[in-house]
Structure 1
Amino acid sequence: MDETRFHTLLHRPGTLVDVGAHDGLITIPLARLPGSRVIAFEPLPPAFARLQAALRGAFGTAPAHVDCRAAALGDSVGEIVLAMPVLDGVAQEQWASTAKDYAAHLSARVTVERFAVPVERLDDLGLADLTAMKVDAEGAEYEILRGARETLLRCRPVMTLEIEERHREGSTWAVPAYLDALGYEVLFELGGEWFPVAALDRATMQRASPDPSVFEASDPYVFVFYALPREDAPALLARLQGAA
Structure 2
Amino acid sequence: MYTEIDGWRSLKNDICLKSAKKQGNGDINNYQNIELMTAMSYCAKWRTAVDVGAHVGITAFQMAKSFEHVHAYEINPKIYECMNYNLESRAVGNVTTYPVGLGQRKHNVSIKTTNKSFSTHVAPDVDGGDIQVMPLDFYNLQDVDFIKIDAEGYEPFVAQGGLETIKRCLPIILYECKDHPIRYGHNADTIRHILAPLGYRMIRKIGRGEKNAIIGHRPGIAIDV
Same fold by TM (over 0.5)? yes
Match of 1:43 among 28, 51, 75: 75
Match of 2:90 among 43, 58, 61: 58
1:100/1:9 CA distance change after superposition, 3 Å:
same
1:56/1:232 CA distance change after superposition, 3 Å:
farther
| Secondary structure of the corresponding residue to residue 43 of structure 1 | coil
Q: How far 1:152 sits from its partner (Å)?
A: 0.6
- 1:18 and 1:38 in contact (8 A); partners too: yes
Q: How far 1:68 sits from its partner (Å)?
A: 0.4
Query: Could you tell me which residue of structure 1 aligns to residue 24 of structure 2?
Result: none
1:157/1:99 CA distance change after superposition, 3 Å:
farther
Q: Distance in 2 between matches of 1:229 and 1:164?
A: 22
1:2/1:31 CA distance change after superposition, 3 Å:
same
Task: Tell me, yes or no, if structure 1 residue 120 matches structure 2 residue 134.
Answer: yes
- 1:99 and 1:168 in contact (8 A); partners too: no
1:132/1:190 CA distance change after superposition, 3 Å:
closer
Query: Could you tell me which residue of structure 1 aligns to residue 22 of structure 2?
Result: none
1:116/1:92 CA distance change after superposition, 3 Å:
farther
The runs of at least 4 consecutive aligned structure 1 residues that moved more than 6 Å come to none
Q: Distance in 1 between matches of 2:90 and 2:220?
A: 33
- 2:72 and 2:95 in contact (8 A); partners too: yes
Query: Could you tell me which residue of structure 1 aligns to residue 48 of structure 2?
Result: 15
Match of 2:116 among 71, 92, 112: 92
Match of 2:144 among 88, 105, 130: 130
Question: Where does the alignment leave 5 or more consecutive residues of structure 2 unmatched?
Answer: 1-32
| Secondary structure of the corresponding residue to residue 131 of structure 1 | strand
Q: Distance in 2 between matches of 1:145 and 1:163?
A: 13
Identity value in percent: 24
Q: Distance in 2 between matches of 1:157 and 1:23?
A: 23
TM-score using structure 1 length: 0.68
| Secondary structure of the corresponding residue to residue 100 of structure 1 | coil
Query: Could you tell me which residue of structure 1 aligns to residue 194 of structure 2?
Result: 178
Query: Could you tell me which residue of structure 2 aligns to residue 215 of structure 1?
Result: none
Query: Could you tell me which residue of structure 2 aligns to residue 165 of structure 1?
Result: 179
- 1:180 and 1:186 in contact (8 A); partners too: no
Aligned positions of 1:77-226 closer than 5 A = 77-84=106-113, 86=114, 91-98=115-122, 100=124, 116-168=130-182, 170-189=186-205, 221-226=209-214
Q: Distance in 2 between matches of 1:99 and 1:16?
A: 27
Question: Where does the alignment leave 5 or more consecutive residues of structure 1 unmatched?
Answer: 103-113, 192-219, 234-244
Task: Tell me, yes or no, if structure 1 residue 33 matches structure 2 residue 66.
Answer: yes
- 1:97 and 1:138 in contact (8 A); partners too: yes
Q: Distance in 2 between matches of 1:152 and 1:190?
A: 22
- 1:186 and 1:228 in contact (8 A); partners too: yes
Q: Deviations over 1:123-151 (max 9, x none)?
A: 11112211100000001011110000011
